[in-house]
Amino acid sequence: MIASISNNLLAWYDIHARDLPWRQAPGSARPDDAAWPYRVWLSEVMLQQTTVAAVKPYFAKFLTLWPTVDALAAAADDDVLAAWAGLGYYSRARNLIKCARVVADRGGFPQTESELRQLPGLGDYTAAAVAAIAFGQRAVVVDANVERVVARLFAIDTPLPGARKAIRAAADTITPNKRAGDFAQALMDLGSHICTSRAPRCLLCPLHDDCEGRKSGEPERLPIKPARKAVPERYGAAFWITRKAGREVWLVTRPDTGMLGGMRALPDDGWTARRDGSGQPPLPGAWHTVGAVRHGFTHAHLTLEVRRLESRGENSPEMVGDGVWWPVSDIGEAGLATLFAKAAQIAIAVG
């Protein structure tokens, strides 16, 4: 059974592999150049909790701006964060910069899973994926798609997250010594397009003869997920402060640590769990509420009221903190995090 699983899956992958800009054709030799592990690592970091469709344009943009890890390491933090804006989970961007500089200093990426795990931002999954895909090392690569495939294949019915140890152990038994990178990507593709969360397409699956979940008649029941916890609500205000008849807006850079750390943003009131929020504007003046933004984070939902003020000499934001006056016409180039880009759109639309 074990040998048939890896053989059947690789044979399926040779025909049905997705054509992605960070992949080699199935079965092809790994490129013998330093740019290859960089491309693999960059794509895997971007793909964490993000769809392939969303990542493709960002991947292309980063390779255009910084075609090598050395080029990325030499880039200014603000430039990288601005290029990342809109992709979300901004701690990944900060770790991307840190990791690029560590790799550049050591002269290249390490090739083993254990050494890769020591790099900033590389957890078990990313280290295993880079080891297998970039360097051909045998490594057990388990993302959410692989987790689902393996749980069904072996009918692992322990609820998550407790099932993860058993899922990884089972994945280890079917990972071949050769073509481990192709095998990992084949499992990902199978989970993405065949062994989907709902209505899995079992008749098209190359592993259907070996799948215990299919034999049970309820493959979609697995893996068993814990009950969802209620997502807390947060409330706050963002402040759109302009001058020169609305042609320039005051932008700040958020602290390096915390939510949206290091990103360029509108000033805000810090957010709170209370519905009324603190909502205290940073300056005196005739503030006007122009709308609100609703935004979902992994840990909370946020409703952010957008308030506007035309700055004068007596209420200049330069009096209360560091920032920059940014042309409103070029707001798309500011690299605002998605939350604040939404707030800016509302303020601009009102005029």
Catalytic residues: 44
Rounded to the nearest 5 degrees, what angle is found at the Cα of 16, between the Cα atoms of 131 and 56? 60
Q: 85: burial class by Cβ within 10 Å (0-12, 13-18, 19+)?
A: buried
The answer to whether 334 and 82 are in contact (CB under 8 A) is yes
The tokens describing 102, both together, are 């560590």
Q: 107: burial class by Cβ within 10 Å (0-12, 13-18, 19+)?
A: exposed
Distance CA 127, CA 117 (A): 5
Distance CA 271, CA 301 (A): 11
Instruction: Tell me how many helices (H) and strands (E) the chain has.
Output: 13, 6
The tokens describing 237, both together, are 């205000």
The tokens describing 68, both together, are 């090598």
Name residue, tokens 């095998």.
Answer: 183
* Cβ neighbours, 10 Å, residue 75: 17
Distance CA 150, CA 157 (A): 11
Percentages helix, strand, coil for the chain (3-state, rounded to 5) are 45, 15, 40
| Dihedral angle computed from the Cα positions of residues 105, 107, 111 and 115, in that order, rounded to the nearest 10 degrees | -20
